[in-house]
Amino acid sequence: ARHQLDRIGQHKELGAFVAIDEDLTVAQARAADDKLAAGNAAALTGVPIAHKDIFVTTGLPTSAGSQILAGYRSPFDATVVRRLAEAGAVTLGKLSCDEFAMGSSNENVAVPAVGFDEAVPVRNPWDRERIPGGSSGGSAAAVAARLAPAATGTDTGGSIRQPASFCGVTGIKPTYGRASRYGMVAFASSLDQAGPMARSAEDCALLLSAMCGPDPDRDSTSLDRPAEDFTRRLGDSLEGLRIGVPKEFLGDGVAPGVRAVVEAALAEYEKLGARRVEITLPRTELSIPVYYIIAAAEASSNLSRFDGVKFGHRAKDYRDLADMYAKTREEGFGDEVKRRIMIGTYVLSHGYYDAYYLQAQKVRRMIADDFQQAFRQCDLIAGPAAPTVAWKIGEHGGDPVADYLADIFTLPGSLAGLPGMSIPAGFDGGMPVGLQLLGNYCEESRLLNAAHRFQ
Ligand code: GLN
Protein backbone atom coordinates (compact mmCIF):
# COMPACT_ATOMS: atom_id res chain seq x y z
CA ALA A 1 0.00 0.00 0.00
CA ARG A 2 2.86 2.37 0.86
CA HIS A 3 4.54 1.68 -2.47
CA GLN A 4 1.30 2.34 -4.34
CA LEU A 5 0.61 5.57 -2.43
CA ASP A 6 4.10 6.77 -3.34
CA ARG A 7 3.55 6.00 -7.01
CA ILE A 8 0.18 7.73 -6.94
CA GLY A 9 1.97 10.80 -5.53
CA GLN A 10 4.61 10.61 -8.25
CA HIS A 11 2.12 10.38 -11.12
CA LYS A 12 -0.54 12.93 -10.31
CA GLU A 13 -0.11 14.31 -13.82
CA LEU A 14 -2.17 11.36 -15.13
CA GLY A 15 -5.23 12.72 -13.34
CA ALA A 16 -6.28 9.16 -12.49
CA PHE A 17 -7.28 9.70 -8.85
CA VAL A 18 -9.96 12.07 -7.61
CA ALA A 19 -9.77 11.17 -3.91
CA ILE A 20 -7.15 9.61 -1.66
CA ASP A 21 -6.78 9.40 2.11
CA GLU A 22 -3.37 8.07 3.05
CA ASP A 23 -4.26 7.61 6.70
CA LEU A 24 -7.28 5.52 5.83
CA THR A 25 -5.26 3.35 3.43
CA VAL A 26 -2.40 2.88 5.88
CA ALA A 27 -4.81 1.98 8.69
CA GLN A 28 -6.47 -0.64 6.51
CA ALA A 29 -3.08 -2.00 5.46
CA ARG A 30 -1.98 -2.28 9.10
CA ALA A 31 -5.16 -4.16 9.93
CA ALA A 32 -4.41 -6.50 7.02
CA ASP A 33 -0.89 -7.06 8.36
CA ASP A 34 -2.37 -8.01 11.72
CA LYS A 35 -4.74 -10.48 10.07
CA LEU A 36 -1.87 -12.05 8.15
CA ALA A 37 0.23 -12.26 11.30
CA ALA A 38 -2.66 -13.95 13.10
CA GLY A 39 -2.97 -16.49 10.27
CA ASN A 40 -6.44 -15.13 9.62
CA ALA A 41 -6.17 -14.04 6.00
CA ALA A 42 -8.97 -13.93 3.41
CA ALA A 43 -8.50 -14.24 -0.36
CA LEU A 44 -7.39 -10.66 -0.95
CA THR A 45 -5.97 -9.72 2.45
CA GLY A 46 -3.71 -6.70 2.04
CA VAL A 47 -4.20 -6.34 -1.72
CA PRO A 48 -4.48 -2.62 -2.51
CA ILE A 49 -7.32 -1.73 -4.83
CA ALA A 50 -8.77 1.55 -6.08
CA HIS A 51 -12.43 2.15 -6.86
CA LYS A 52 -14.04 3.95 -9.74
CA ASP A 53 -15.68 7.03 -8.27
CA ILE A 54 -19.10 5.73 -9.22
CA PHE A 55 -19.15 3.28 -6.29
CA VAL A 56 -20.31 4.91 -3.10
CA THR A 57 -17.92 4.65 -0.16
CA THR A 58 -18.19 5.71 3.45
CA GLY A 59 -14.47 6.39 3.88
CA LEU A 60 -14.02 8.65 0.86
CA PRO A 61 -16.25 11.11 -1.01
CA THR A 62 -18.16 9.97 -4.10
CA SER A 63 -18.75 12.37 -6.98
CA ALA A 64 -19.47 10.13 -10.02
CA GLY A 65 -17.37 12.71 -11.84
CA SER A 66 -20.12 15.31 -11.39
CA GLN A 67 -20.29 18.73 -9.80
CA ILE A 68 -23.78 17.87 -8.62
CA LEU A 69 -22.23 15.35 -6.21
CA ALA A 70 -18.98 17.20 -5.47
CA GLY A 71 -17.99 16.51 -1.87
CA TYR A 72 -20.84 14.02 -1.32
CA ARG A 73 -20.27 11.32 1.27
CA SER A 74 -22.37 8.21 1.30
CA PRO A 75 -23.64 6.77 4.58
CA PHE A 76 -23.06 3.24 3.22
CA ASP A 77 -20.66 1.27 1.02
CA ALA A 78 -21.59 -0.19 -2.35
CA THR A 79 -22.02 -3.97 -2.14
CA VAL A 80 -19.04 -4.51 -4.46
CA VAL A 81 -16.86 -2.29 -2.25
CA ARG A 82 -18.07 -4.06 0.88
CA ARG A 83 -17.48 -7.51 -0.59
CA LEU A 84 -13.94 -6.62 -1.64
CA ALA A 85 -13.24 -5.18 1.81
CA GLU A 86 -14.58 -8.37 3.40
CA ALA A 87 -12.22 -10.34 1.19
CA GLY A 88 -9.40 -8.28 2.71
CA ALA A 89 -8.70 -5.63 0.06
CA VAL A 90 -7.20 -2.30 1.10
CA THR A 91 -8.72 0.83 -0.48
CA LEU A 92 -6.22 3.08 -2.26
CA GLY A 93 -8.64 5.81 -3.30
CA LYS A 94 -11.25 6.81 -5.84
CA LEU A 95 -10.64 6.96 -9.57
CA SER A 96 -11.69 9.51 -12.14
CA CYS A 97 -14.45 8.65 -14.58
CA ASP A 98 -16.72 10.33 -17.08
CA GLU A 99 -19.60 12.15 -15.41
CA PHE A 100 -22.16 9.51 -14.37
CA ALA A 101 -20.15 7.07 -16.53
CA MET A 102 -21.36 8.80 -19.70
CA GLY A 103 -18.48 8.84 -22.10
CA SER A 104 -15.83 6.94 -23.97
CA SER A 105 -12.77 9.10 -23.31
CA ASN A 106 -12.77 10.32 -19.71
CA GLU A 107 -12.89 13.86 -21.06
CA ASN A 108 -16.41 14.40 -19.62
CA VAL A 109 -15.15 14.75 -16.07
CA ALA A 110 -16.27 17.71 -13.96
CA VAL A 111 -14.40 17.25 -10.67
CA PRO A 112 -10.72 18.01 -10.00
CA ALA A 113 -8.18 15.21 -9.89
CA VAL A 114 -5.84 14.88 -6.90
CA GLY A 115 -3.15 17.56 -7.29
CA PHE A 116 -5.31 19.82 -9.50
CA ASP A 117 -7.63 22.73 -8.74
CA GLU A 118 -9.84 22.03 -11.70
CA ALA A 119 -11.27 19.10 -13.62
CA VAL A 120 -8.78 17.50 -16.03
CA PRO A 121 -9.09 14.68 -18.54
CA VAL A 122 -7.29 11.49 -17.51
CA ARG A 123 -4.15 10.83 -19.55
CA ASN A 124 -3.19 7.54 -21.13
CA PRO A 125 0.08 6.35 -19.55
CA TRP A 126 1.28 5.00 -22.92
CA ASP A 127 1.03 8.47 -24.50
CA ARG A 128 0.00 11.33 -22.27
CA GLU A 129 -1.47 13.25 -25.20
CA ARG A 130 -4.07 10.53 -25.62
CA ILE A 131 -7.24 9.56 -23.82
CA PRO A 132 -7.28 6.42 -21.64
CA GLY A 133 -10.76 5.49 -22.86
CA GLY A 134 -13.85 5.73 -20.76
CA SER A 135 -15.82 5.83 -18.78
CA SER A 136 -13.54 3.82 -16.44
CA GLY A 137 -10.53 5.78 -17.72
CA GLY A 138 -9.04 6.47 -14.30
CA SER A 139 -9.23 2.76 -13.47
CA ALA A 140 -7.46 1.72 -16.68
CA ALA A 141 -4.79 4.41 -16.42
CA ALA A 142 -4.08 3.61 -12.76
CA VAL A 143 -3.60 -0.09 -13.45
CA ALA A 144 -1.55 0.53 -16.61
CA ALA A 145 0.74 3.01 -14.82
CA ARG A 146 1.12 0.62 -11.87
CA LEU A 147 -0.50 3.08 -9.49
CA ALA A 148 -2.69 0.20 -8.36
CA PRO A 149 -2.47 -3.54 -8.98
CA ALA A 150 -6.21 -3.62 -9.56
CA ALA A 151 -9.23 -1.37 -9.80
CA THR A 152 -12.96 -1.61 -10.01
CA GLY A 153 -14.80 -0.36 -13.06
CA THR A 154 -18.31 -0.33 -14.41
CA ASP A 155 -19.49 -1.18 -17.88
CA THR A 156 -22.84 -0.01 -19.25
CA GLY A 157 -21.90 0.02 -22.92
CA GLY A 158 -18.21 -0.83 -22.85
CA SER A 159 -16.70 1.23 -20.06
CA ILE A 160 -14.55 -1.60 -18.71
CA ARG A 161 -13.59 -3.25 -22.00
CA GLN A 162 -12.77 -0.16 -24.07
CA PRO A 163 -10.46 1.58 -21.54
CA ALA A 164 -8.84 -1.79 -20.78
CA SER A 165 -8.14 -2.09 -24.50
CA PHE A 166 -6.79 1.46 -24.81
CA CYS A 167 -4.49 1.14 -21.78
CA GLY A 168 -3.28 -2.43 -22.30
CA VAL A 169 -4.83 -3.96 -19.19
CA THR A 170 -7.26 -6.83 -18.62
CA GLY A 171 -10.87 -6.11 -17.69
CA ILE A 172 -14.02 -8.16 -17.42
CA LYS A 173 -17.67 -7.19 -17.35
CA PRO A 174 -19.62 -10.14 -15.97
CA THR A 175 -23.07 -11.27 -17.03
CA TYR A 176 -25.72 -8.67 -16.18
CA GLY A 177 -26.88 -9.43 -12.65
CA ARG A 178 -23.72 -11.17 -11.44
CA ALA A 179 -22.48 -8.21 -9.42
CA SER A 180 -24.83 -6.20 -7.26
CA ARG A 181 -25.61 -2.68 -8.49
CA TYR A 182 -26.34 -1.54 -4.94
CA GLY A 183 -24.30 1.57 -4.30
CA MET A 184 -23.24 2.05 -7.91
CA VAL A 185 -24.46 5.50 -8.91
CA ALA A 186 -27.08 4.48 -11.48
CA PHE A 187 -26.70 5.39 -15.15
CA ALA A 188 -28.74 2.86 -17.16
CA SER A 189 -29.98 0.25 -14.73
CA SER A 190 -30.76 -2.48 -17.26
CA LEU A 191 -27.17 -2.32 -18.53
CA ASP A 192 -24.91 -1.25 -15.63
CA GLN A 193 -22.49 -3.91 -14.37
CA ALA A 194 -19.40 -3.80 -12.17
CA GLY A 195 -16.19 -5.64 -12.88
CA PRO A 196 -12.46 -5.69 -12.14
CA MET A 197 -9.59 -4.24 -14.16
CA ALA A 198 -6.15 -5.67 -13.47
CA ARG A 199 -2.92 -6.92 -15.02
CA SER A 200 -4.03 -10.43 -15.88
CA ALA A 201 -7.02 -12.69 -16.31
CA GLU A 202 -5.93 -14.58 -13.22
CA ASP A 203 -6.05 -11.42 -11.10
CA CYS A 204 -9.43 -10.55 -12.60
CA ALA A 205 -10.74 -14.03 -11.74
CA LEU A 206 -9.71 -13.64 -8.10
CA LEU A 207 -11.26 -10.19 -7.85
CA LEU A 208 -14.45 -11.12 -9.68
CA SER A 209 -14.97 -14.09 -7.36
CA ALA A 210 -15.02 -11.67 -4.44
CA MET A 211 -17.19 -9.07 -6.19
CA CYS A 212 -20.05 -11.25 -7.44
CA GLY A 213 -22.88 -13.04 -5.71
CA PRO A 214 -26.58 -12.53 -5.08
CA ASP A 215 -27.80 -9.44 -3.24
CA PRO A 216 -31.57 -10.00 -3.36
CA ASP A 217 -32.50 -7.51 -0.65
CA ARG A 218 -30.65 -4.64 -2.29
CA ASP A 219 -30.60 -5.28 -6.03
CA SER A 220 -33.68 -7.03 -7.37
CA THR A 221 -31.88 -7.72 -10.66
CA SER A 222 -28.97 -9.54 -9.02
CA LEU A 223 -28.85 -13.13 -10.27
CA ASP A 224 -29.97 -15.86 -7.94
CA ARG A 225 -26.79 -17.87 -8.39
CA PRO A 226 -24.31 -18.56 -5.62
CA ALA A 227 -20.96 -16.79 -5.64
CA GLU A 228 -18.57 -18.73 -7.82
CA ASP A 229 -14.84 -19.37 -7.80
CA PHE A 230 -13.94 -17.97 -11.19
CA THR A 231 -10.39 -19.31 -10.98
CA ARG A 232 -11.56 -22.90 -11.07
CA ARG A 233 -11.17 -23.43 -14.82
CA LEU A 234 -7.92 -21.49 -15.26
CA GLY A 235 -5.51 -23.79 -17.05
CA ASP A 236 -8.13 -25.92 -18.85
CA SER A 237 -7.11 -26.93 -22.36
CA LEU A 238 -8.48 -24.90 -25.27
CA GLU A 239 -8.47 -27.98 -27.51
CA GLY A 240 -11.62 -27.92 -29.63
CA LEU A 241 -12.84 -24.54 -28.32
CA ARG A 242 -14.89 -22.90 -31.08
CA ILE A 243 -14.16 -19.18 -31.37
CA GLY A 244 -16.72 -17.29 -33.40
CA VAL A 245 -15.52 -14.27 -35.34
CA PRO A 246 -18.39 -11.99 -36.41
CA LYS A 247 -17.73 -10.65 -39.87
CA GLU A 248 -19.23 -7.32 -38.79
CA PHE A 249 -16.39 -6.96 -36.25
CA LEU A 250 -13.62 -6.97 -38.84
CA GLY A 251 -15.16 -4.79 -41.53
CA ASP A 252 -14.07 -1.55 -43.15
CA GLY A 253 -14.40 0.67 -40.10
CA VAL A 254 -11.63 -1.18 -38.25
CA ALA A 255 -8.15 0.35 -38.36
CA PRO A 256 -5.76 -1.93 -40.30
CA GLY A 257 -3.35 -2.10 -37.38
CA VAL A 258 -6.13 -3.16 -35.03
CA ARG A 259 -7.34 -5.79 -37.48
CA ALA A 260 -3.79 -7.16 -37.78
CA VAL A 261 -3.49 -7.54 -34.00
CA VAL A 262 -6.86 -9.33 -33.80
CA GLU A 263 -5.94 -11.65 -36.68
CA ALA A 264 -2.61 -12.50 -35.01
CA ALA A 265 -4.42 -13.22 -31.73
CA LEU A 266 -6.87 -15.52 -33.50
CA ALA A 267 -3.95 -17.36 -35.14
CA GLU A 268 -2.42 -17.76 -31.69
CA TYR A 269 -5.67 -19.28 -30.42
CA GLU A 270 -5.62 -21.76 -33.28
CA LYS A 271 -2.12 -22.78 -32.18
CA LEU A 272 -3.55 -23.35 -28.69
CA GLY A 273 -6.05 -25.81 -30.15
CA ALA A 274 -9.06 -23.55 -30.72
CA ARG A 275 -11.02 -23.60 -33.96
CA ARG A 276 -12.04 -20.40 -35.73
CA VAL A 277 -15.65 -20.20 -36.87
CA GLU A 278 -16.99 -17.41 -39.09
CA ILE A 279 -20.25 -16.06 -37.69
CA THR A 280 -22.53 -13.09 -38.20
CA LEU A 281 -24.10 -10.59 -35.80
CA PRO A 282 -26.21 -8.83 -38.40
CA ARG A 283 -27.58 -6.10 -36.15
CA THR A 284 -24.19 -4.86 -34.89
CA GLU A 285 -24.64 -1.38 -36.40
CA LEU A 286 -28.10 -1.01 -34.89
CA SER A 287 -26.64 -1.43 -31.45
CA ILE A 288 -25.50 2.21 -31.54
CA PRO A 289 -28.91 3.90 -31.94
CA VAL A 290 -30.57 1.24 -29.78
CA TYR A 291 -28.09 1.71 -26.94
CA TYR A 292 -28.10 5.49 -27.07
CA ILE A 293 -31.92 5.52 -26.88
CA ILE A 294 -32.24 3.00 -24.05
CA ALA A 295 -29.29 4.25 -22.01
CA ALA A 296 -30.46 7.86 -22.33
CA ALA A 297 -34.03 6.92 -21.42
CA GLU A 298 -32.93 5.12 -18.28
CA ALA A 299 -30.46 7.89 -17.41
CA SER A 300 -33.14 10.57 -17.66
CA SER A 301 -35.17 8.65 -15.12
CA ASN A 302 -32.26 7.73 -12.81
CA LEU A 303 -30.88 11.26 -12.72
CA SER A 304 -34.19 12.77 -11.63
CA ARG A 305 -33.06 12.10 -8.05
CA PHE A 306 -30.48 14.90 -8.31
CA ASP A 307 -32.82 17.76 -7.56
CA GLY A 308 -31.00 19.67 -4.84
CA VAL A 309 -33.34 18.37 -2.15
CA LYS A 310 -31.96 15.10 -0.84
CA PHE A 311 -28.22 15.30 -1.47
CA GLY A 312 -25.45 16.94 -3.39
CA HIS A 313 -25.32 20.44 -4.78
CA ARG A 314 -28.15 22.94 -4.30
CA ALA A 315 -28.30 26.28 -6.15
CA LYS A 316 -27.94 29.34 -3.92
CA ASP A 317 -30.40 31.88 -5.31
CA TYR A 318 -33.80 30.70 -6.39
CA ARG A 319 -37.34 32.01 -6.39
CA ASP A 320 -39.35 28.87 -5.66
CA LEU A 321 -39.07 25.09 -5.70
CA ALA A 322 -39.23 24.71 -9.48
CA ASP A 323 -36.58 27.39 -9.89
CA MET A 324 -34.40 25.61 -7.32
CA TYR A 325 -34.64 22.32 -9.26
CA ALA A 326 -33.87 24.03 -12.54
CA LYS A 327 -30.92 26.08 -11.30
CA THR A 328 -29.45 23.17 -9.34
CA ARG A 329 -29.51 20.91 -12.39
CA GLU A 330 -28.35 23.68 -14.73
CA GLU A 331 -25.32 24.31 -12.50
CA GLY A 332 -24.65 20.73 -11.44
CA PHE A 333 -24.77 18.70 -14.66
CA GLY A 334 -22.25 18.85 -17.49
CA ASP A 335 -23.12 19.11 -21.19
CA GLU A 336 -23.09 15.40 -21.99
CA VAL A 337 -25.30 14.59 -19.03
CA LYS A 338 -27.81 17.26 -20.07
CA ARG A 339 -27.76 15.94 -23.64
CA ARG A 340 -28.60 12.44 -22.41
CA ILE A 341 -31.39 13.70 -20.14
CA MET A 342 -32.93 15.61 -23.04
CA ILE A 343 -32.68 12.68 -25.45
CA GLY A 344 -33.99 10.29 -22.82
CA THR A 345 -36.91 12.48 -21.86
CA TYR A 346 -37.76 12.94 -25.52
CA VAL A 347 -37.77 9.24 -26.42
CA LEU A 348 -39.94 8.47 -23.40
CA SER A 349 -42.44 11.22 -24.03
CA HIS A 350 -45.99 10.71 -25.21
CA GLY A 351 -46.10 10.34 -28.98
CA TYR A 352 -42.43 9.36 -29.28
CA TYR A 353 -42.30 6.42 -26.90
CA ASP A 354 -43.60 3.95 -29.48
CA ALA A 355 -41.47 5.32 -32.28
CA TYR A 356 -38.18 5.32 -30.38
CA TYR A 357 -38.08 3.68 -26.98
CA LEU A 358 -40.36 0.74 -27.71
CA GLN A 359 -38.74 0.18 -31.09
CA ALA A 360 -35.30 0.20 -29.46
CA GLN A 361 -36.47 -2.38 -26.92
CA LYS A 362 -37.65 -4.66 -29.71
CA VAL A 363 -34.36 -4.40 -31.58
CA ARG A 364 -32.52 -4.99 -28.31
CA ARG A 365 -34.30 -8.32 -28.01
CA MET A 366 -33.34 -9.20 -31.60
CA ILE A 367 -29.69 -8.37 -30.87
CA ALA A 368 -29.79 -10.72 -27.88
CA ASP A 369 -31.38 -13.42 -30.07
CA ASP A 370 -28.66 -12.96 -32.70
CA PHE A 371 -26.11 -13.88 -30.05
CA GLN A 372 -28.03 -17.02 -29.10
CA GLN A 373 -28.08 -17.96 -32.76
CA ALA A 374 -24.32 -17.40 -32.92
CA PHE A 375 -23.63 -19.42 -29.77
CA ARG A 376 -25.08 -22.47 -31.50
CA GLN A 377 -21.99 -22.39 -33.70
CA CYS A 378 -19.33 -21.30 -31.24
CA ASP A 379 -18.35 -21.27 -27.57
CA LEU A 380 -16.83 -17.79 -27.43
CA ILE A 381 -16.90 -14.75 -29.69
CA ALA A 382 -13.75 -12.75 -30.44
CA GLY A 383 -13.03 -9.44 -32.12
CA PRO A 384 -11.63 -6.00 -31.42
CA ALA A 385 -12.84 -4.11 -28.34
CA ALA A 386 -12.78 -0.88 -30.33
CA PRO A 387 -12.22 0.02 -34.00
CA THR A 388 -9.07 2.07 -33.28
CA VAL A 389 -6.46 2.67 -30.62
CA ALA A 390 -6.90 5.52 -28.12
CA TRP A 391 -7.36 8.84 -29.86
CA LYS A 392 -5.76 12.17 -28.95
CA ILE A 393 -7.28 14.29 -26.18
CA GLY A 394 -9.60 16.76 -27.92
CA GLU A 395 -9.43 14.88 -31.24
CA HIS A 396 -13.18 14.33 -31.42
CA GLY A 397 -13.56 18.06 -30.87
CA GLY A 398 -16.50 17.68 -28.53
CA ASP A 399 -18.50 15.81 -31.20
CA PRO A 400 -20.45 13.30 -29.10
CA VAL A 401 -21.43 11.19 -32.11
CA ALA A 402 -17.77 10.47 -32.88
CA ASP A 403 -17.49 9.00 -29.39
CA TYR A 404 -20.75 7.04 -29.74
CA LEU A 405 -19.68 5.43 -33.02
CA ALA A 406 -16.45 4.17 -31.44
CA ASP A 407 -18.54 2.03 -29.04
CA ILE A 408 -19.83 -0.20 -31.84
CA PHE A 409 -18.11 -3.43 -30.74
CA THR A 410 -18.88 -3.23 -27.04
CA LEU A 411 -22.54 -2.19 -27.25
CA PRO A 412 -24.01 -5.43 -28.68
CA GLY A 413 -22.75 -7.55 -25.75
CA SER A 414 -24.00 -4.94 -23.28
CA LEU A 415 -27.48 -4.86 -24.79
CA ALA A 416 -27.62 -8.65 -24.59
CA GLY A 417 -26.31 -8.67 -20.99
CA LEU A 418 -23.45 -11.03 -21.89
CA PRO A 419 -20.10 -11.29 -20.10
CA GLY A 420 -17.20 -9.74 -21.97
CA MET A 421 -13.52 -9.03 -21.53
CA SER A 422 -10.72 -7.13 -23.12
CA ILE A 423 -7.22 -8.54 -22.95
CA PRO A 424 -4.01 -6.93 -24.18
CA ALA A 425 -3.21 -8.46 -27.57
CA GLY A 426 -0.63 -6.22 -29.22
CA PHE A 427 0.09 -2.71 -30.42
CA ASP A 428 -0.80 -0.42 -33.29
CA GLY A 429 1.58 2.49 -33.70
CA GLY A 430 2.87 2.04 -30.16
CA MET A 431 -0.59 2.06 -28.58
CA PRO A 432 -2.17 -1.02 -26.98
CA VAL A 433 -4.87 -2.99 -28.76
CA GLY A 434 -7.28 -5.17 -26.80
CA LEU A 435 -8.87 -8.39 -27.97
CA GLN A 436 -12.50 -8.57 -26.92
CA LEU A 437 -13.88 -11.95 -25.89
CA LEU A 438 -17.62 -12.43 -25.33
CA GLY A 439 -19.20 -15.48 -23.73
CA ASN A 440 -22.69 -16.77 -23.25
CA TYR A 441 -24.56 -16.03 -20.02
CA CYS A 442 -22.64 -17.00 -16.87
CA GLU A 443 -19.69 -18.31 -18.88
CA GLU A 444 -17.20 -16.05 -17.09
CA SER A 445 -15.00 -19.01 -16.12
CA ARG A 446 -14.66 -20.09 -19.72
CA LEU A 447 -13.86 -16.53 -20.79
CA LEU A 448 -11.29 -16.05 -18.06
CA ASN A 449 -9.62 -19.34 -18.91
CA ALA A 450 -9.40 -18.45 -22.60
CA ALA A 451 -7.85 -15.11 -21.63
CA HIS A 452 -5.48 -16.79 -19.17
CA ARG A 453 -4.21 -19.30 -21.73
CA PHE A 454 -3.54 -16.49 -24.18
CA GLN A 455 -1.58 -14.52 -21.60
N1 GLN B 1 -19.51 5.11 -24.00
C2 GLN B 1 -20.76 4.63 -23.55
C3 GLN B 1 -21.62 5.78 -23.06
O4 GLN B 1 -21.15 6.86 -23.08
C5 GLN B 1 -20.59 3.58 -22.49
C6 GLN B 1 -20.36 4.12 -21.14
C7 GLN B 1 -20.35 3.06 -20.09
O8 GLN B 1 -20.22 1.88 -20.35
N9 GLN B 1 -20.52 3.50 -18.86
O10 GLN B 1 -22.72 5.62 -22.67
Q: What percentage of the chain has pLDDT greater than the value 90? A: 98
Give the model's confidence band at 454: pLDDT under 50 very low, under 70 low, under 90 confident, else very high: very high
Query: Is 238 inside a domain boundary?
Result: no
CA 13 to chain centre: 22
Are the beta carbons of 270 and 276 closer than 8 angstroms? yes
pLDDT tens-digit series, residues 37-69: 999 999 999 999 999 999 999 999 999 999 999
What single string gives the DSSP state of each residue in 111-159?
SBPTT-SSB-PPPBTTBTTB---SSSHHHHHHHHTTS-SEEEEEESSST
- Ligand 1 pocket, 156 CB below 6 A? yes
**Domain boundaries, position 44:** 2-211
Give me the pLDDT at residue 97, please: 98
On the 0-12 / 13-18 / 19+ scale of CB atoms within 10 A, 17 is buried
Query: Is 223 inside a domain boundary?
Result: no
Give me the pLDDT at residue 227, please: 84
Cross-strand bridge partners of residue 212: 179
Give me the pLDDT at residue 398, please: 85
- Ligand 1 pocket, 66 CB below 6 A? no
pLDDT tens-digit series, residues 302-332: 999 999 998 899 999 999 999 999 999 999 9
Tell me the catalytic residues: 52, 135, 159
pLDDT tens-digit series, residues 85-97: 999 999 999 999 9
Residue 162 is part of a domain; what is its CATH number? 3.90.1300.10
Are the beta carbons of 448 and 383 closer than 8 angstroms? no
For ligand 1, atom 10, the nearest C-alpha belongs to: 102
Spacing, Cα 154 to ligand 1 middle (Å): 9
Query: Is 413 inside a domain boundary?
Result: no
Query: Is 57 inside a domain boundary?
Result: yes
Query: Is 411 inside a domain boundary?
Result: no
Amino acid occupying residue 437: L
Mutational test site, ligand 1, from 98, 287, 290, 418, max ligand atoms within 8 Å of CB: 98
Give me the pLDDT at residue 300, please: 98
Residue 402 confidence (pLDDT) above 90: yes
Query: Is 393 inside a domain boundary?
Result: no
Query: Is 66 inside a domain boundary?
Result: yes
Mapped onto helix, strand or coil, the DSSP state of residue 74 is coil
Q: What percentage of the chain has pLDDT greater than the value 70? A: 100
- Ligand 1 pocket, 344 CB below 6 A? no
The whole-number average pLDDT for the span 271-293 is 98
- Measured from the Cα of 404, ligand 1's closest atom is 1
Q: Identify how many contiguous H helices and E strands the chain contains and give both numbers.
A: 14, 11
Spacing, Cα 100 to ligand 1 middle (Å): 9
- Measured from the Cα of 155, ligand 1's closest atom is 8
Query: Is 276 inside a domain boundary?
Result: no
pLDDT tens-digit series, residues 219-246: 999 999 988 999 999 999 999 999 999 9
Q: How many domains does the chain have?
A: 1
Give the model's confidence band at 83: pLDDT under 50 very low, under 70 low, under 90 confident, else very high: very high
